[in-house]
Amino acid sequence: MDKHSRIYVAGHAGLVGSSIVRNLKAKGYNNIITRTKAELDLRNQALVNRFFAENEIDYVFLAAARVGGILYNQRYQADFIYDNITIAANVIHAAAEYDVKKLLFLGSSCIYPKMAPQPIKEEYLLSGPLEPTNEGYAVAKIAGLKLCEKFYHQYGKCFISCMPTNLYGPGDNFHPEHSHVIPGMMRRFHTAKLNGDEKVVVWGSGKPRREFLHVDDLAEALFVLMEKYDRPETINVGTGIDHSILEVAEMLKDCVGFKGRIELDTSKPDGTPRKVLDVSRIKELGWEPKYSLEEGLRHAYQWAVENRVFDTKIIELGEERQSEKADMHERPGAV
Ligand code: GFB
């Protein structure tokens, strides 16, 4: 990529996409192309083709996806599989048709088999059954990964993919139910501190182990991959370090300054028992994360407070889908 390359960041308003844009801008890239969801519905193939035909895109970071935490994934599996398959298929196909030089697609550590040996190596993909709470999401993301790999082999396209671990940081979704564990718990500890509550509820048994990466560390890894990695095999991006959910809850409690106790709600799902990536391959490319989890949590909390994310109206589960469905049906040619 040179500083004037036309770089399309799909999903620029999300956690990952916004971090990619910050990273590229800080490095002096001055031709970054973005479209909001209202301007370009990536599930609509005709609109996606027209966008690529009109914009002469050189590079694509494909960070657009329907994403969410364990409960959101579990409840809306049809939306997760459909939206993510159509986004991946439309963008990857259009990138091939309109001669994009290189495309980077994002998978996720949750698409490896539920009981994969730990730490998870890239070759464990498709070696066993998936975690049921995010099966829809995983099948769609695996399709995206395979699209890149097949276009690489059949058409010689430099379409690559990576597997980020669980992410957090500025720009995250802090919804109490849709979100991932860090922003979800951060909100609850923050609210409990303000209300002077005695306890905060943490979902599940507290025993599952997860690896967490600050999103700005991921954005730098994606930049390195765009510059240096031209292989069809996917590549893990993580810290290689995992923590139990209860340990993370204790860290967040300290970070936010909540003085009460933690209570576990075992009616909520635990999901995969352990997810930690083998990160030897990406380390060989010279990348490593800068944030420790403690520093990263402090940074994310400070960002959330400064940006008043805990003050905004909470959209209830289902409400968002209703309004989006109405919107989709009104638009001619939409899915
Ligand atoms: O972050 P999370 O939703 O991701 O949940 P997954 C991680 C663990 O934290 C689970 C527990 O064992 C949850 O039960 N947990 C405790 C909480 N309190 C909370 C809370 O307040 N909110 C949430 N969300 N969890 C997702 C996948 O699974 O991983 C997605 O469903 C995605 O597909 C993501 O790829 C990376 O690691 O369990």
Distance, CA of 109 to CA of 280 (rounded, Å): 15
Q: Quick one: which of 8, 51, 52, 56 has its CA closest to 32?
A: 8
Closest CA relative to residue 100, chosen from 55, 36, 46 = 55
The pLDDT value recorded for residue 276 is 98
Residues 163 and 104: beta-carbon distance below 8 Å: no
Supply the pLDDT for residue 329: 33
**Protein residue closest via CA to atom 12 of ligand 1:** 270
Give residue 247 CA to ligand 1 midpoint distance, Å: 14
Give me the amino acid identity at 256.
V
Give the residues surrounding ligand 1 with Cβ less than 6 Å away.
69-70, 73, 108, 110, 133-134, 137, 166, 179-181, 184-185, 202-204, 208, 210, 245, 268-271
Domain ranges for the chain, please list them: 7-330
Query: Quick one: which of 287, 301, 297, 162 has its CA closest to 232?
Result: 162
242 CA distance to ligand 1 middle (Å): 14
- Burial category of 180 from C-beta neighbours within 10 Å (exposed 0-12, middle 13-18, buried 19 and up): buried
Residue 326 confidence (pLDDT): 40
Helices (H), the chain: 15-26, 45-55, 70-75, 77-97, 135-155, 181-195, 215-228, 245-256, 280-284, 293-306, 319-330
Q: Which residues of the chain have pLDDT under 70?
A: 313-335
Quote the ligand 1 centre to 193 CA distance (angstroms). 22
Tokens of 114: 């539920």
The active-site residue out of 72, 76, 112, 137 is 137
Q: Which amino acid is residue 307, in one-letter code?
A: N
Pocket test for ligand 1, best of 134, 180, 188, 266 (most atoms within 8 A of CB): 180
Biggest distance spanned by C-alpha atoms of the chain: 61
Q: Which atom of ligand 1 is nearest to the CA of 74?
A: 31
**CA–CA gap between residue 33 and residue 44 (Å, rounded):** 18
- CATH value of 7-330 in 3.40.50.300, 3.40.50.720, 1.10.540.10, 3.40.50.2000: 3.40.50.720
Alpha-carbon distances of 237 from 14, 34, 35, 120, 219, rounded to whole Å: 18, 24, 26, 11, 10
Rounded to the nearest whole angstrom, what is the distance from the C-alpha of residue 187 to the centroid of ligand 1? 14
Closest ligand 1 atom to Cα of 208: 12
Rounded to two decimals, the pTM is 0.94
d(CA 141, CA 153): 19
Alpha-carbon torsion (14, 19, 24, 30), positive or negative: positive
Written as one string, the DSSP assignment of 12-55 is: TTSHHHHHHHHHHHHTT---EE---TTT--TT-HHHHHHHHHHH
pLDDT of residue 320: 58
pLDDT at residue 316, as a whole number: 63
Q: How much is the pLDDT for 332?
A: 26
- Respond yes or no: is residue 229 known to be catalytic: no
Q: Is residue 170 within 8 Å of residue 302, measured between CB atoms?
A: no
Sign (positive or negative) of CA dihedral 89, 94, 99, 103 = negative
Q: Positive or negative, the Cα torsion across 96, 137, 225, 125?
A: negative
Of all protein residues, the one whose alpha carbon is nearest to atom 15 of ligand 1 is 203
**Ligand 1: nearest atom to the Cα of 245:** 9
Beta pairing, strands 209-210 & 274-275: parallel
